[in-house]
Structure 1
Amino acid sequence: MRLEDRITRRRRRGGKRRRLVRDLSALDPTAHPREPTGRGPTLERILDHLDPVFDGELPPDAHVHGPKGVGKSAVVAALFEHLASALPARRSVIHTATRTAATPTTSFAYVDARDAPTEFALLHAALETLSKEPVPSQGVGVGALRERLTARVAHDEHAVVAVDHVGEPETVSAATAVETLSSVSPHVSVLTVGRDPRSDATEAGDDDDVTDVTDAASIAVSAYERHSLVDILVARASDGVARNALPHEADAR
């Protein structure tokens, strides 16, 4: 038998061997799943707050807060990614027999404050996400970025910007992030995400007329219950490990 045939035979045999791990990312505790697990109620509360965008209106500012590791970033990042692809980001014009009306549209941007610790970096990151055109990082100042962002968000083009990891030692505070972005245009809404609640925030549902730039609705995310953690671990193990690799008794433990 030729050497090539011997190698081919062994390769085919190796391809039929059972693999214990099917998806390593599902077992990685540092990897965020595309679909957050066990956070349905939190997701619904954030969607309830963002509900006005489905009617072409801009929601008020809000602040999502909770302890480290409760899935705040995973939920907000995944939600904004889906909303950005599901809703039109550019103005759409409705033609009727009597008039032409511009239907307000809403764009979504997710910004990590750890990568944008200054006013310039925050404006640049938001504008870069909202705009399809490249945004220069040199040779422009804060004023130029503000003008570009103001032009990007017009009366019929709204924007909701999520700023994650606010209030950390080397990131901007939630109030600073809101003031920086909201002062650019009244058609920008800011959703901040951090570990600590804002002292000037009100619980979501307590005040339906929150309009001041320093106010924000508060959306608290509680720590996982033990049974929820067990369900998450079992679900991730099922996704990452090959079928029947572990007996049911092992999953239950």
Structure 2
Amino acid sequence: MIHDESRPLLSVRHLTKRFGKGCVACSHPEQLPEGNNHCPHCGTVWAVNDISFDLYEGEILGIVGESGSGKSSLVQCLYFDNTVTDGSATIATYQDGTANIFRESSQQKRYIRNHLMGMVYQNPWIGLRMQFSSGGNIAEKLIAAGTFNVHEIRARAKELLNHVEIPVTRMDEAPLHFSGGMQQRVQISKALANHPPILLLDEVTTGLDLSVQARVLDLIRRIQRESRTAMIVVSHDLGVIRMLCDRTMVMKEGRCIEAGLTDQILEDPHHAYTQLLVHSLL
């Protein structure tokens, strides 16, 4: 299907994720006190609170905020790692953008995960099977999407590992023996296996040395340029957001408190919290 680039590739509306049963006092999370996403009566945490945004083909959207702001919970909802409490999301290339992917069957959600989205986790132990070979990790994603020809699988694994600068001689070696930066690059290659139009990256440079961070960031930029993959980049590091992202959304206590072009957010932040974040970077 040819996608109209003027139309959002991904549209998210009123996404809400609650951890806990909720109660009468927090049945409408907008009534929670400003600056607090915990219900004082039942202890429920509103990790993502009424978030809406669009993502366009070839665009990189940054989501920034401190730990506990809800940014990771948001992308985990999009990848179906978390079940949403409320809200909708549509993908223009899936069911002509008419289906709320959160309400689809388990089978359809697997299809979306295997064909339309890739996910790169902060902790590569979540995204990779560490005892499998690097090629085996990529093969797992390809097989899940219906590719069973061994020659095709190995050719695609070699192509992807070359793409992320992992020596092909290490294709049959387990990521368990790789450095953190190499593990992240294997994760990226696995996420890209089936040419997904959307890539979700959750704190992919956290804990890496600066030189390794730079290589991973360069790789992400190159993928975006060459394949026009739309990306959502979650980070607490405004330096990463500044380098990668076209637009940025700032989250605090589960809410979006400011959104706009990245340059505008960083050069002229309006919200006091965003100003604090930007000043801490300077």
Same fold (TM over 0.5): no
Question: Which TM-score applies when normalising by structure 1?
Answer: 0.42
Q: Look at both structures and tell me which one has the larger radius of gyration over its CA atoms.
A: 1
